[in-house]
Amino acid sequence: MGLHKDEGAAAAALAEECGEVVQIISKYYRFGGSWDDLPPGKSQTRWEQLESEMADLFYQWERLKATREG
């Protein structure tokens, strides 16, 4: 997630994060290997990437819930 994670529509940001999670999981199954592999050109393992994107996803989920409740 960029420097502006609190900007823009929460639902749109949540959808974007869902897409990033799907992409990481899809690449894991497409290219095989281990969750502990370091993909070419990346500084995090697949598992670390997934953890980071899941944290971003949950953040945006909480943001969306707050806009609905507020």
pLDDT digits (tens, 9 = 90+) for 43-64: 999 999 999 999 999 999 999 9
Q: State the Cα–Cα distance between residues 66 and 70, nearest whole angstrom.
A: 6
Number of domains in the chain: 1
Give the pLDDT band of residue 37 (cuts 50, 70, 90): very high
Inside any domain, residue 17: yes
Look up residue 7 and give its DSSP letter.
S
What is the mean predicted confidence (pLDDT) over 1-11? Answer: 77
CB 1 within 8 A of CB 54: no
The pTM (predicted TM-score) of the whole model is 0.87
Is residue 3 one of the residues assigned to a domain? no
Range of the domain at 53: 10-69
